[in-house]
Amino acid sequence: MEKTWKPTAAGICSILGGVINLIFGLMFTVLGGLAWGAFGMGWLGAIGVPALICGIIGIVGGICALKRRTWWLAIVGAICAIIGPGFILGILAIIFVIMGKSEFE
């Protein structure tokens, strides 16, 4: 089996998208906690927590793509990388994971 650039590019895109989601989620979770008492804007935390979870899954999926193991986790990580401001990276990750499916164990 020949190793190509596709799973590597998918892993990098998924990890970057996951890190962006992680930062986005952390920012909104902290802002939601701070704004809860002062402005009654605790709903910001409700936006931040799913972004945190998707960021973590995106990073784990990107690592699986870089190692070329567990294809389904790599595709789930790429899908989770779509959520948030780094959605372009998530779309690219999905495309590259699907194109490189034959290289996964």
Put simply, whether the predicted model's pTM sits higher than 0.75 gets the answer yes
Instruction: Say whether pLDDT at 73 is over 90.
Output: yes
Tens of pLDDT, residue by residue over 26-62, are 988 888 777 666 666 667 778 888 999 999 999 999 9
* Model pLDDT, residue 29: 84
What are the residue ranges spanned by the domains of the chain? 6-103
**Residue 60 to residues 9, 12, 31, 42: CA-CA distances in angstroms?**
15, 11, 26, 29
Percent of the chain residues topping a pLDDT of 70? 91
pLDDT grade for 2, boundaries at 50, 70 and 90: confident
